[in-house]
């Protein structure tokens, strides 16, 4: 594995020696690099941080995968059984490090790509990166990740709010919040798990601000992981899955309407197709039922040192943690190529490549019900097959 002290040669390689550049050293990028290498294609991973799996290293301490160990492995190397069924954050980092080492992937760290464009002769791709580097590749795979740039709503008054405020990406554990009143804004999987962590870590009061009531599912029931069900139903009719999940929820979960979490009106799979993944229960249901996590209305803004909620109430927590998600951050990198939709998401994924941008691939920019890591592994194989099938002028091959 290369490091930041051995940067790629800034000079354009000869036409017959152009690698595939993979932008991003997370699970998606590593999986694509291996899949290409396994087919004899030279792939160079460019990672802006000093280590692979940088986003995983920044996650909160208690994080465990919500997908099973077996369905979270990348191509060519299983996750060790000793890591258990629900892999911890630290074990996932260890796995990614071992994956890169085991497959002898060509990785250059400390290099951030700022712009991708076609070469002047329109036969390949030019990547502009830190230090004035200009790298020429036969193809490019963008794998910078679903959780790239923390996103914050434009809440009125936030800039002048003097209370403690942080995005969930900055949260590590509950220790700094012991004995304090905390408001968590956002009830995705991250917000729900942080709220439970705060309760268990000794926060004096935890409120969870909810804009849209989510679907909640048990991570596993009687030893059967929810992910297995998701894989089985993902290609069934949406209405059928909505009805099936609604019936299953009535049996598996208590009615929390009195606590502020009624059952959603729209079906589970319909919501998934809109981009709303169900919240996997890792203690939230019990915490809400017992009143340890209080459900409150959505944050509307900040006024006079307090937090204004959408129902007109004002609360005065010691700290606010915004679990409001992430943006893909692709506009500066490839936005000029016309390959993004109006929400900044790639219009092609996996083996698909935009007709006017041949050789440009994307992976990891969806959040499927069947599990992000599982789909990354599948996409990696598809991308590698597409690259080798279509070829490109000067595609660099590994020596036999």
pLDDT of residue 331: 93
Name the pLDDT band for 221 (thresholds 50, 70, 90): confident
Query: Model pTM?
Result: 0.90
Q: Do 170 and 314 lie in a common domain? A: yes
pLDDT digits (tens, 9 = 90+) for 44-64: 999 999 999 998 988 999 999
Q: Do 285 and 366 lie in a common domain? A: no
pLDDT of residue 16: 61
Q: Using the predicted structure, report yes or no on whether residue 1 has a pLDDT greater than 70.
A: no
Q: Token pair of 346, please? A: 């790639």
Provide the number of structural domains found in the chain.
2
Element (H, E) at 107: strand 106-109
Domain harbouring 181, CATH code: 3.50.50.60
Report the alpha-carbon distance of residue 85 to residue 225 in Å, rounded.
10
Quickly tell me which residue has 């006017």 as its tokens. 356
Identify the CA nearest to 212 among candidates 146, 154, 278: 278
Full DSSP string of 179-229: TSEEEEE--SHHHHHHHHHHHHTT-SEEEEEESSPPPEEESEETTEEHHHH
Q: Do 176 and 59 lie in a common domain? A: no
Quickly tell me which residue has 């705060």 as its tokens. 198
pLDDT digits (tens, 9 = 90+) for 254-308: 999 999 999 999 999 999 988 888 999 999 999 999 999 999 999 999 998 899 9
Q: Do 156 and 239 lie in a common domain? A: yes
Identify the CA nearest to 114 among candidates 128, 103, 101, 132: 128
Residue ending a domain, choose from 322, 353, 378:
322
For the chain, how big is the Rg over CA atoms in Å?
22
Q: What is the mean pLDDT of residues 184-201?
A: 96
pLDDT of residue 6: 44
Q: Using the predicted structure, report yes or no on whether residue 234 has a pLDDT greater than 90.
A: no
Q: Taking each helix axis as running N to C, give the angle between helix 372-390 and helix 27-38, from 0 to 180 degrees, rounded to the nearest 10.
A: 40
- 44 by DSSP, 3-state: which? strand
Name the pLDDT band for 5 (thresholds 50, 70, 90): very low
Q: Range of 36's domain?
A: 20-148+328-390
């Amino acid at each position: 594995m290369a490091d930041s002290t051995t940067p790629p040669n800034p000079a354009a390689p000869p036409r017959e020696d152009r690698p595939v550049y993979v932008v991003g050293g997370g699970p998606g990028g590593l999986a694509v690099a291996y899949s290409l290498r396994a087919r004899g294609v030279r792939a160079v991973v460019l990672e802006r941080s000093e280590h692979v799996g940088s986003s995983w290293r920044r996650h909160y301490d208690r994080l465990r995968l919500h997908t099973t160990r077996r369905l979270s492995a990348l191509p060519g190397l299983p996750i060790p059984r000793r890591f258990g069924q629900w892999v911890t954050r630290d074990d996932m980092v260890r796995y990614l490090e071992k994956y890169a080492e085991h497959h002898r992937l060509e990785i250059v760290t400390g290099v951030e790509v700022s712009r991708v464009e076609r070469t002047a002769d329109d036969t390949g791709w030019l990547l502009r990166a830190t230090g004035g580097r200009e790298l020429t590749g036969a193809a490019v795979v963008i794998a910078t990740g679903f959780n790239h740039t923390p996103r914050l709503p434009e809440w009125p008054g936030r800039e002048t709010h003097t209370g403690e405020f942080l995005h969930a990406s900055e949260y590590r554990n509950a220790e700094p919040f012991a004995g304090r009143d905390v408001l968590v804004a956002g009830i995705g999987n991250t917000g729900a798990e942080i709220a439970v962590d705060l309760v268990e870590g000794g926060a004096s009061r935890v409120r969870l601000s909810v804009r849209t009531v989510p679907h909640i599912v048990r991570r596993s029931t009687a030893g059967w992981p929810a992910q297995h069900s998701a894989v089985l139903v993902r290609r069934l009719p949406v209405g059928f899955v909505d009805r099936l999940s609604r019936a299953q929820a009535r049996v598996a979960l208590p009615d929390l309407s009195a606590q502020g979490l009624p059952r959603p009106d729209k079906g589970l799979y319909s919501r998934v197709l809109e981009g709303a993944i169900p919240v996997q229960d890792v203690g939230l249901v019990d915490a809400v039922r017992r009143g340890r996590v209080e459900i409150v209305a959505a944050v509307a803004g900040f006024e006079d040192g307090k937090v204004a909620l959408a129902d007109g109430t004002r609360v005065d927590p010691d700290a606010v943690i915004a679990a409001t998600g992430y943006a893909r951050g692709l506009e500066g990198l490839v936005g000029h190529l016309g390959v993004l939709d109006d929400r900044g998401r790639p219009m092609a994924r996996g083996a698909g490549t935009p007709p006017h941008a041949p050789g440009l691939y994307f992976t990891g920019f969806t959040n499927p019900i069947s599990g992000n890591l599982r789909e990354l592994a599948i996409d990696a194989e598809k991308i590698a097959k597409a690259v080798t099938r279509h070829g490109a002028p000067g595609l660099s091959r590994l020596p036999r």
